[in-house]
Chain A
Amino acid sequence: MSEIIHYSALRKTVHGQLLLDIDSLEIYEQACVALSGRNGAGKSTLMRIIAGLEAPDSVTVSFDGQTMPWRRACQRMRTHVIYLHQNPYLFDRSVTDNIAYGLRHRELSIKDISRKVAEALDWAGISHLQMRNARELSGGERQRVAFARARILKPRVLLLDEPTTNMDSEAREQTYRMIKRLKDDGVSILLATHEFHTVAHLCDVHLSLESGSLRPQSIDSAGGERKIIPYG
């Protein structure tokens, strides 16, 4: 299993306090990594740094085997890494327009965009919602739109920040199924959670963020088939 991104010596201070002090973090192809930690441990900050939305104090990044500065790595990874907020933001427009949003930055014909959007709607099971304004949807439906909007761009890495927060059990199950399908499609997933046991069945690796450092955790208790990944 090959490594996509490797962060080393990642440091981040917030309000003068050292929040992240990570020696090494690797994201492998087609792996699902659970990132657990208590609230305020820095999970979201770490994800935002990987997504290029927040700058670290210092880091060395290697992307596809090439070492480069963080800023350049962000530019290189722009089309490969997608971050989904804890409560994904949907634009004040139709579901179709939301899903097509990222494709409009790529040189595709309207016909191709329409075809891909139809596929994505079908994949997420929201074809019946396509003309609805995305703002009018329920929490679970919004999450499905956000996943479809990300998947349509065929990312190599998907960063999911507490994707099931404030969801009822049915919406949670739907979200887990979508994560599983994304993983089966070959997307690498970094999944932040403060309740690892709820996502254990999806993950190949469990990293816990404690006092700013990442510590590998056992996932044996979760059972299921695992990929062998050289973490820790």
Chain B
Amino acid sequence: MDSLSASTAESFRLLFSGDAALWVIIFTSFTVSVRAILIAAPLAFVVAFLMAHLRYRGRRTMIAGFSALQSIPAVVVGLTVYLVFSRSGPLGDLQLLFTHSSMIIGQILLSFPLLVALSHAAFQAADRRVWETSVTLGAKPYRAFMTLLHEIRFGLIAALLAGFGRIIAEVGCSMMVGGNILGYTRNIPTAIALETTRGEFAQAIALGMVLLVLALLLNGLLAFFQGRGEMSS
């Protein structure tokens, strides 16, 4: 018990004293995950829109496929990216393994199905009149698409936050393709896993608190962006 309270006190000291090693880990986590989500989201929204808007053979299979891929284990994605970028892999010459780039690619692959599935649900629920009204008022397809994004923004923000929540806290993929290199590819979840196995609980608790605060913040943001939370009349 003493050791737990001592570790907790130490974790606060680490957080608020501006411990460089700790903040590099936090910074790495955020830069990698934010970049991954910023790359994945626009493409996911377009794919989701096309799935909701167009009628083509195999559409239902595609929707079911993205739904199924939402629950793919992070380690499987990590393993796939590892095999592709390992020295003997098809893209081994790019030497991306154990870099931020490979971590970003892994996180894009992890978040993409979730983003597509959730944003597809938002597009599917959108009022058909949004698109039709835009077009009949002279909007080109791109502008009509942007208007549609605006009209269903709460659903899309929820998809974004869910996608970000999925990748900021995943261990398996980052560990495998990032290598958990101190000061470079070590991020919050991989650092927590490592420090716990080493019995260094202070840093693990400090990083765990960051993730908890982040989870609260994301949910708070979602509640804020959802406005008054009323059904539209």
Contacts and interface: CB of A to CB of B under 8 A. Distances in A.
B147 interface: yes
Contact of A153 (B127, B133, B138): B138
Contacts of B132: 51, 53, 83, 85, 89
Interface string A75-95: 000110111010111011100
B130 interface: yes
A89 B130 contact: yes
B233 interface: yes
A149 interface: yes
B151 A83 contact: no
A109 B232 CA distance: 33
Contacts of B150: 91-93
A102 interface: yes
Q: Interface of chain B, helix or strand or loop or mixed? A: helix
Contacts of B136: 51-53, 81-83
Interface size class of B (residues with CB under 8 A): 10 to 19
A89 B233 contact: no
Nearest to B132: A53
A101 interface: yes
Interface size class of A (residues with CB under 8 A): 20 to 34
Contacts of A83: 132, 136
Nearest to B227: A92
Interface string A45-89: 000000111000000000000000000000000110111010111
Interface of A: 51-53, 78-79, 81-83, 85, 87-89, 91-93, 101-102, 105-106, 135, 149-150, 153
Given A82-B137, A88-B129, 20 more contacts: A51-B136, A52-B135, A52-B136, A53-B136, A79-B138, A81-B136, A85-B132, A87-B129, A89-B129, A89-B130, A89-B132, A89-B133, A91-B150, A91-B151, A92-B151, A93-B150, A101-B147, A102-B139, A135-B232, A153-B137
22 contacts: A51-B136, A52-B136, A53-B132, A53-B136, A81-B136, A83-B136, A85-B132, A89-B127, A89-B129, A89-B133, A91-B133, A91-B147, A91-B151, A92-B232, A93-B150, A101-B137, A101-B139, A105-B137, A105-B138, A105-B143, A150-B137, A153-B138
Lowest 8 CB-CB distances: which A-B pairs, in order? Answer: A89-B129, A102-B137, A89-B133, A105-B138, A83-B136, A102-B138, A53-B132, A85-B129
